[in-house]
Amino acid sequence: MACRITFVLFPGFQQLDLAGPMAVFEVALLAQPGSYTWRLVASQGPAVRSSAGVAWPVQALPRTLGDGDLVMVIGGDGVDAACADAALIAWLRRASRSAARVASICSGSLVLAAAGLLDHRTATTHWSRSRQFACDFPAVQLQADRIYVREPAQRRGPQPRPEVWTSAGMTAGIDLCLALVAHDHGEALAREAARQLVVERRRPGGQSQFSPLLDLQRPEGRFTGLLDQVRSQLRDDHRVEALAARACMSPRHFARCFRAETGTAPAHAVERLRVEAARTALESGQPSLQRIADDCGFGSTERMRRSFQRLLGRPPLAFRKAGAAAA
């Protein structure tokens, strides 16, 4: 039985957020006929203009959905207006009660969150929207570094909830859709789709490897000076108790306020700053791994290696080799 995908668009959507997933399902359909069908819908038609200015024809939001349907909300710059689209939000709430699965690409997860579909569930979004997401939707357990997140269906209770998939920005939608193909039709078909698209079946690391660490702060933010101090003195003690003391706050209150402003925990922010500094040193050709580990506050090369694997998906030596190749 074919899975029917309902791609949900809104004015200002990002074309790659649509074209990437659509390409995955197209390749899967060519390799296994009858596996997928799809349609484009929106709360207003007959066409929706993307952020690039290209208008895509759409159908009206469907009145009914099948048990095997997948509703996928596309992201893009118009997401804030989409979150305030009462007709779209109401339809998503109704759709979540009948569709088998709901998914989002990139910042489309904010629309799902606005509809209440992610409350008390885990999700991810594009790194540039993480702070906004954490502030606007505190009931969602945001996993900001993940490429994609699959939240299982909840069948028990007075109001069953569908399976939900959310992805990080743009090309991460391809990762999510390859995982969907593997879930639906097996790993072999997902590998074949990845091979045809010339992409990795499973990308290593999270989206920290793509997000600039300056995004941790706002120029007017209350922790701007503190983060600048951490960045310039990476060898110092930057445990949450020490950071809270410098901010004249209790550790618990500091951690809560820091996460609300930056979208991440203090310890994770410090680790990201250290990894980025070490990565820059490696790519610039500094010779000693131990010296880099010491200067960046890791203390040991093994601790640095674990942080690189966790945040970037590759060991430090991979970045040294990449820097040497680029030179």
Would you state the pLDDT for residue 99?
77
Closest residue by Cα to residue 147 from 191, 75, 200, 203: 203
Range of the domain at 279: 213-326
The yes-or-no verdict on residue 292 having pLDDT over 90 is: yes
Same domain flag for 255 and 135: no
The Cα–Cα gap between 269 and 308 comes to: 14
Same domain, 233 and 156: no
Domain identity same for 18 and 63: yes
- Are 89 and 202 contained in the same domain? yes
Q: What CATH number has the domain bearing residue 103?
A: 3.40.50.880
- 278 and 134, same structural domain? no
Of 173, 194, 209, the position where a domain reaches its end is: 209
Residues 13 and 160 both lie in one domain: yes
Q: Spell out the alpha helix ranges (H) of the chain.
A: 15-31, 79-83, 86-95, 109-114, 130-136, 172-185, 187-197, 224-232, 240-246, 251-262, 266-283, 289-295, 301-312, 316-326
Q: Where is the domain boundary, 170, 193, 209?
A: 209
The domain total for the chain is 2
Highest mean pLDDT among 68-82, 128-142, 250-264: 68-82
Residue 211: the pLDDT is: 53
The tens digit of pLDDT for each residue in 68-109 reads 799 999 999 999 999 999 999 999 999 998 878 999 999 999
pLDDT of residue 311: 82
pTM for this prediction: 0.72
Structure confidence by residue, pLDDT tens digits, 298-310:
999 999 999 998 8
Q: What is the pLDDT of residue 214?
A: 43
Question: Among 173, 192, 209, which residue terminates a domain?
Answer: 209
